[in-house]
Amino acid sequence: MTHHPGRMAQTSPDSLRPWRALACLLAAVALAGCVRVAIHGNPDHMTNAARPPLRVATYNTSLYDEAAGGLVERLRAGDADARKIAAVLQRVRPDIVLLNEFDHDAGGVAADLFQRDYLDVAQPGGGDPLHYPYRYLAPVNTGVPSGLDLDGDGNVGGEHRARGNDAWGYGLHPGQYGMLVLSRHPIDATQVRTFQHFRWSALPDARQPRDPATGDTWYPPSVWAQLRLSSKSHWDVPVRTPAGVIHLLAAHPTPPVFDGPENRNGLRNHDEIRLWAEYITPRPAPWLCDDQGRCGGLPGDARFVIAGDYNADPFDGDGVPGAIAQLLHHPRVDAAFVPHSQGAVERAAQRGFDRRGDVAAHTGDFGPRSGTLRLDYVLPSDNLKVVDGGVFWPAGDTPAATIIDASDHHLVWLDLQP
């Protein structure tokens, strides 16, 4: 509202003093209960019923390319899959979303293009334009040469898959299969913690791969001492929401396949998941040091949401048994609400796999050899309340099904309140 003090000047200031005194008194009474809020900025002045829930999502977008800069070129040209990914986001409209498998480039060009040319434009099958004023992106380990023989073939690097196998995380170029966080609320970039360089051997009781035939360690000691745990990265991204700061714990552990009898990828997947379990456990952890040299885990009273494609199903698939249970059964995680979809039930029936878990909770279809599995998670801390949630996987005979085939994963979301 614009005020016009010139109009007030026509009245004598002395004649207004009694009225001003009365107005001040009434204002003081009305605002007495708000003084604490005004001084301390406490977000809890709004009741949960009045505050809309915070929608947090994760989505493995499959927006990657085998060539460096390939995603940027595709986005500039007008990529059909990117339009479908944007349409899904416009339909669900999360406040905070982690995108897995979104190729990273140092200048953030792909992120800029995706926002400007896709999210900011109403897409067929989607909804209104969706703008995220805040984002976080950073380097990942995928495609970054290690200078070491990590796959045990006697060579360092090479071409194509051999080169990818000897990167810190499998990838054909640095940044392939990267991560991107988009948010409607401010991100506290100064307090972000990343664990890209954290060494697997620094994890207490790490599950070091061994040759099952000899019992010897699979990685030579000189390699094991340098090997990074995170195949992409682990990020603690604090977001300043109307409900207070919420830490988005973002990761994308390696698939527990594409290895040998030593099960090096399966064990790495298990321990990548375990890193977050250790991080949220309220006890001293001087060994748990981030890329900036800050050590220790998350404070015991912090609110957090663990999000991402964790490549681990609770009941089925090729993962190490109990891998994702480290989070699902953690005392600080509320995993009681399990998102579902009708599309998952339909596709699981088509695949015909005998599953021990609830197929309605599956988050992706990984082809005729693997079937459907639950790999993607949004897991809140126990000091957040789950109001609603789901997996955006509509049944095949609905119009929305036309926008879900850009990725083999489907978006998972939860509505949360403190």
Residue 77 lies in a domain: yes
Average pLDDT over every residue of 63-87 = 98
Residue 10 lies in a domain: no
Domain CATH for 311? 3.60.10.10
Question: Per the structure block, which two tokens stand in for 361?
Answer: 């909770």
User: Looking up tokens 């940044």, which residue turns up?
Assistant: 175
Q: Are residues 183 and 34 in the same domain?
A: no
Sign of the dihedral through C-alpha 262, 263, 265, 271: negative
Q: Are residues 228 and 250 in the same domain?
A: yes
Residue 256 lies in a domain: yes
- Residues 182-214 have pLDDT tens digits of 999 999 999 999 999 999 999 999 999 999 999
Give the per-residue pLDDT at 12: 35
Q: Which residue among 10, 29, 47 closes a domain?
A: 47
For residue 250, the enclosing domain spans 52-140+175-417
Residue 272 lies in a domain: yes
Residue 145 lies in a domain: no
Q: Are residues 35 and 95 in the same domain?
A: no
Q: Are residues 27 and 62 in the same domain?
A: no
Whether 72 has a pLDDT exceeding 90, the answer reads yes
Which residues 6+ apart lie within 8 Å of 119 measured at CB?
Answer: 86, 89, 90, 129, 130, 131, 132
User: What is the number of other CB atoms lying within 10 angstroms of the CB of residue 303?
Assistant: 20
User: What is the number of other CB atoms lying within 10 angstroms of the CB of residue 200?
Assistant: 22
Cα distance between residue 102 and residue 110, in whole Å: 8
Cα distance between residue 171 and residue 271, in whole Å: 20
Binned at pLDDT 50, 70 and 90, residue 2 comes out as very low
Q: Are residues 264 and 191 in the same domain?
A: yes
- Residues 332-373 have pLDDT tens digits of 999 999 999 999 999 999 999 999 999 999 999 999 999 999
Give the per-residue pLDDT at 48: 57
Q: Are residues 26 and 78 in the same domain?
A: no
Residue 155 lies in a domain: no
In terms of Cα–Cα distance, which of 384, 394, 379, 387 is closest to 340? 394
Whether 21 has a pLDDT exceeding 50, the answer reads no
Q: Are residues 214 and 285 in the same domain?
A: yes
Question: Per the structure block, which two tokens stand in for 73?
Answer: 């070129």
β-bridge partners, 389? 414
- Residues 244-294 have pLDDT tens digits of 999 999 999 999 999 999 999 999 999 999 999 999 999 999 999 999 999
Question: Per the structure block, which two tokens stand in for 143?
Answer: 């495609």
CA angle 90, 96, 99 (to 5 degrees): 75
Q: Are residues 179 and 33 in the same domain?
A: no
Provide the 3-class DSSP secondary structure of residue 259.
coil
Whether 15 has a pLDDT exceeding 60, the answer reads no
- Residues 133-186 have pLDDT tens digits of 999 999 999 999 999 999 999 999 888 889 999 999 999 999 999 999 999 999
Cα distance between residue 372 and residue 317, in whole Å: 9
Q: Are residues 338 and 403 in the same domain?
A: yes
Give the per-residue pLDDT at 158: 86
Q: Are residues 43 and 56 in the same domain?
A: no
Binned at pLDDT 50, 70 and 90, residue 47 comes out as low
Residue 333 lies in a domain: yes
Q: Are residues 38 and 98 in the same domain?
A: no
Report the chain's C-alpha Rg in angstroms.
25
Tell me 201's DSSP state: G
Cα distance between residue 18 and residue 24, in whole Å: 10
Residue 362 lies in a domain: yes
In terms of Cα–Cα distance, which of 279, 237, 271, 236 is closest to 254? 271
CA angle 63, 66, 67 (to 5 degrees): 105
The total number of structural domains in the chain stands at 2
Q: Are residues 186 and 77 in the same domain?
A: yes
